[in-house]
Amino acid sequence: MDFQSKLLQNAVDQMGSLPGIGKRTALRLVLHLLNQKPQEVQQFSDAFTTLRNNINYCSVCFNISDADTCHICRNPKRDSSLICVVQDIRDILAIESTRQYKGLYHVLGGIISPMDGIGPDDLNIAPLIERAEQEDVKEVILALSATMEGDTTNFYLYRKLHSANVKISVIARGIGIGNELEYTDEITLGRSIQYRSLFENSLNN
Amino acid sequence: MDFQSKLLQNAVDQMGSLPGIGKRTALRLVLHLLNQKPQEVQQFSDAFTTLRNNINYCSVCFNISDADTCHICRNPKRDSSLICVVQDIRDILAIESTRQYKGLYHVLGGIISPMDGIGPDDLNIAPLIERAEQEDVKEVILALSATMEGDTTNFYLYRKLHSANVKISVIARGIGIGNELEYTDEITLGRSIQYRSLFENSLNN
Tens digit of pLDDT for each residue in B88-109? 888 998 898 888 899 999 999 9
Indicate whether B17 pLDDT > 90: yes
What ipTM describes this predicted complex? Answer: 0.78
Statement to judge: residues B86 and B162 lie in one domain: yes
pLDDT score, position A1: 64
Indicate whether B129 pLDDT > 90: yes
The more confident residue out of B128 and B146 is B128
Interchain CB contact of B39 with A (< 8 Å): no
Q: What is the C-alpha radius of gyration for chain B, rounded to an integer number of angstroms?
A: 22
Statement to judge: residues B12 and B86 lie in one domain: no
pLDDT score, position A204: 62
Statement to judge: residues A47 and A83 lie in one domain: no
Statement to judge: residues B85 and B47 lie in one domain: no
Domain assignment present for residue B59? The answer is no
Tens digit of pLDDT for each residue in B26-74? 999 999 998 899 999 999 999 999 999 988 899 999 998 888 899 999 9
Domain assignment present for residue A67? The answer is no
Pair B44, A21: CB distance under 8 Å: no
Domain assignment present for residue A18? The answer is yes
**How near does any CA of chain B get to the CA of A116, in Å?**
14
Question: In chain B, where do the E strands start and end?
Answer: 79-86, 103-107, 139-142, 167-170
Mean pLDDT by 10 residues, chain A (205 residues): 82 94 93 91 95 90 89 93 92 89 93 91 93 91 90 92 88 83 83 79 65
CA–CA gap between residue A58 and residue A71 (Å, rounded): 9
We report the CATH number of the domain holding residue A30 as: 1.10.8.420
Range of the structural domain that residue A141 is part of: 78-200
| A52/B38 CB distance under 8 A | yes
Interchain CB contact of B148 with A (< 8 Å): no
Domain assignment present for residue A65? The answer is no
Domain assignment present for residue B63? The answer is no
pLDDT score, position B104: 95
Pick from A14, A21, A36: which is nearest to B43 by CB? Answer: A14
B57 DSSP assignment:
B
B113 DSSP assignment:
B
Q: How many domains does chain B have?
A: 2
Statement to judge: residues B120 and B49 lie in one domain: no
Burial class (CB in 10 A: 0-12, 13-18, 19+), A192: middle
The more confident residue out of A41 and B135 is A41
Domain boundary among B20, B37, B54: B54
Burial class (CB in 10 A: 0-12, 13-18, 19+), A108: buried
Domain assignment present for residue B30? The answer is yes
pLDDT score, position B1: 64
pLDDT score, position A190: 83
Statement to judge: residues B85 and B165 lie in one domain: yes
We report the CATH number of the domain holding residue A107 as: 3.40.1360.10
CA–CA gap between residue A89 and residue A95 (Å, rounded): 10
Domain assignment present for residue A96? The answer is yes
**pTM score:** 0.76
Statement to judge: residues B124 and B161 lie in one domain: yes
Residues linked to residue A82 through DSSP beta bridges, in sequence order: A139
